[in-house]
Amino acid sequence: MIIDLPSTSTVAISKKLVALRQDTGAMALGRVLTLIIVVDEQEADEAIEAANDASRQHPCRIIAVVIGNKRGASRIDAQIRVGGDAGASEVVVARLYGPLTEHGRSVVIPLLLPDSPVVAWWPSEAPVNVSKDPIGSMAQRRITDSAESKNPRKSLLNRADTYADGDTDLAWTRITLWRGLLAAALDQRPFEPVIEATVTGGSDSPSTDLLAAWLAETLRCKVTRARSRAGTGMISVRLERRSGAVDLVRPDGTVATLTQPGQPVRRITLARRATAECLADELRRLDPDDIYEAAIRKGLARVGRSSPTASEAVREGDAPSPKEAETEARRIARAQPKAGSSAMVAASDPEQSPGTTTTVKKAAARKLDEAKSARVAKSGAPNNGAAGASADKASPGAASPSTAKVPAKKSSAAGSSTKSSVKASATKGAAKPSKAPKASKSAAKAGS
């Protein structure tokens, strides 16, 4: 739901938010922070969409301060987005015109969530000193993006000169996966120090500069920053050790190959991170980033001033070849399905000794003979009982228990005297079957 409030004021915006809360329920009680976006008109929609995606992990109130035309009279054109148009947040878009563009802080303060942290984000151009900016000074966390500025290298140097606790840059967040893979590779044997490192990336990539600065500050070794054509982003990292080089190469921007001495080449998914993903990572922590501070304030100065091209670094053997890495990745991709299919279809038979078949057959025959003998022995007992029963019928005067029970049923209504006689007859009839084996023997002799 989108509600437009043209030519409005902060008081009217606040009242409308309260009215919406009463109409649609407690939509703002679960918000954990206030995210302020300072952006121009051309990039407002893209920045708000990225903030909406990030709010699904961190529900918040988003206040987008859109800087409009600075000429003319002061005016606020507001827009409130809730529900499906706001992700897991509520969005307040305030477009400022005229002299009011210089007073964004006064517009934002009445709209802040009470007793919650404030995060400020500049998606494109940021002030030279964000910690001294009117909006940045009231934020616990200040997020910039040097990659979106007109001069990324200059913007990164400004961040280093004016750093304050709480400052961070999305160019730093984009190399989180690279730093994790390199740290994991160095945590394996052999545990040798890195002698030299080479980081290759686009000439306009501040992420490449920050990764080189991080390596220089962490490993305390010589680090060379090789440059490729603009727009290529991060390409490769080579860490030289005595036992061999550790190469992490991403030639196509999606899949990387990791090469280590004594280990097979591995393909790793290493796609470029979206802005919403990086923003969600930065909203996850609100304390100062000490590693980023050390990299930007000390590491940048440690990186060598010479900046060879990527082709020169490959030619000198200082950097891995992206073409060779891409060819190796394709070879591994083709070999893996073949190995998997052959392992399923052409599995090797288990080894058998020459006498295994004969032994199994003898054991099976012995089990069958034992089963037949047990079946015959079990079926012999009922036959003997049947012969005894026929002998009982053939013997004169013999009374079976079944015939003895019949008079008992018929005399059930005759009184106690008849019951006693029935019991006596039943007792006599039950005692006679004990002589049945003799009659059966005589009958057997007569038959033979």
pLDDT in tens, 259-284: 999 899 999 999 999 999 999 999 99
Phi/psi-derived region of residue 115, left when phi > 0, alpha when psi is between -120 and 50, beta in every other case: left
Highest mean pLDDT among 29-43, 236-250, 417-431: 236-250
Q: Which residue has the higher pLDDT, 325 or 76?
A: 76
Torsion of CA 223, 224, 226, 231, to 10 degrees: 40
Query: Does 220 score more than 90 pLDDT?
Result: yes
| Burial of 415 per CB tally in 10 Å (0-12, 13-18, 19+) | exposed
Q: Where are the domains of the chain?
A: 2-169, 173-344
Give 174-207 pLDDT, tens digit per residue.
Answer: 999 999 999 999 998 888 999 999 999 999 999 9
Q: Are 9 and 36 in contact (CB under 8 A)?
A: no
Query: Does 86 score more than 80 pLDDT?
Result: no
Highest mean pLDDT among 241-245, 329-333, 392-396, 424-428: 241-245
Q: Which residue has the higher pLDDT, 242 or 350?
A: 242
Q: At what angle do helices 401-410 and 416-431 cross, to 10 degrees?
A: 180
Amino acid letter, 261 = P
| Cα separation, 294 vs 191, whole angstroms | 24
Determine the pLDDT at residue 295.
96
Distances 175 to 197, 367, 394 between C-alpha atoms, Å = 16, 69, 104
Beta carbons within 8 Å of 226's beta carbon, 6+ residues apart? 198, 199, 200, 201, 307, 308, 309, 310, 312, 313, 318, 319
Question: For 51-60, 232-241, 360-369, which range has the lowest pLDDT when averaged over its residues?
Answer: 360-369
Amino acid letter, 443 = A
Give 358-402 pLDDT, tens digit per residue.
Answer: 888 888 888 888 888 888 888 865 444 444 444 444 444 444 434
Q: What percent of the chain has pLDDT over 90?
A: 56
336: which 2 tokens? 């893996």
Q: Tokens 């003319």, residue?
A: 72
| CATH C-level class of 2-169 | alpha beta
Beta carbons within 8 Å of 141's beta carbon, 6+ residues apart? 117, 118, 119, 120, 166, 168, 282, 283, 286
Q: Tokens 């979106």, residue?
A: 148
Q: Which residue has the higher pLDDT, 393 or 294?
A: 294
Determine the pLDDT at residue 358.
80
| CATH C-level class of 173-344 | alpha beta
| Cα separation, 13 vs 122, whole angstroms | 23
Distances 418 to 166, 402, 411 between C-alpha atoms, Å = 110, 18, 6
| Cα separation, 63 vs 34, whole angstroms | 7
Torsion sign across C-alpha atoms 325, 331, 334, 336: negative
Mean pLDDT, range 309-335, rounded to an integer: 87
Alpha carbons within 13 angstroms on the beta-carbon side of residue 8 total 20
Question: For 64-73, 81-90, 140-149, which range has the lowest pLDDT when averaged over its residues?
Answer: 81-90
Average pLDDT, the chain: 81
How would residue 352 be classed by pLDDT, with cut points 50, 70 and 90? low
Mean pLDDT, range 7-16, rounded to an integer: 92
Query: Does 103 score more than 80 pLDDT?
Result: yes
Determine the pLDDT at residue 355.
56
Q: Which residue has the higher pLDDT, 280 or 333?
A: 280
Determine the pLDDT at residue 371.
87
| Cα separation, 97 vs 77, whole angstroms | 9
Q: Are 39 and 64 in contact (CB under 8 A)?
A: yes
Question: For 104-113, 182-191, 352-361, 436-445, which range has the lowest pLDDT when averaged over its residues?
Answer: 436-445
Please give, one letter per residue, the 3-state secondary structure of the chain. Answer: CEEEECCCCHHHHHHHHHHHHHHHCCCCCCCCEEEEEEEECCCHHHHHHHHHHHHCCCCEEEEEEEECCCCCCCEEEEEEECHHHHCCCEEEEEEEEHHHHHCHHHHHHHHCCCCCCEEEECCCCCCCCHHHCCCHHHCCEEEECHHHCCCHHHHHHHHHHCCCCCEEEHHHHCCHHHHHHHHHHHCCCCCCCCCEEEEEEECCCHHHHHHHHHHHHHHCCEEEEEEECCCCCEEEEEEEECCEEEEEECCCCCEEEEECCCCCCEEEECCCCCHHHHHHHHHCCCCCCHHHHHHHHHHHHHCCCCCCEHHHHHHCCCCCCHHHHHHHHHHHHHHHHHHHHHHHHCCCCCCCCCCHHHHHHHHHHHHHHHHHHHHHHHHHHHHHHHHHHHHHHHCCCCCCHHHHHHHHHHCCCCCHHHHHHHHHHHHHHHHHHHHHHHHHHHHHHHHC
How would residue 348 be classed by pLDDT, with cut points 50, 70 and 90? low
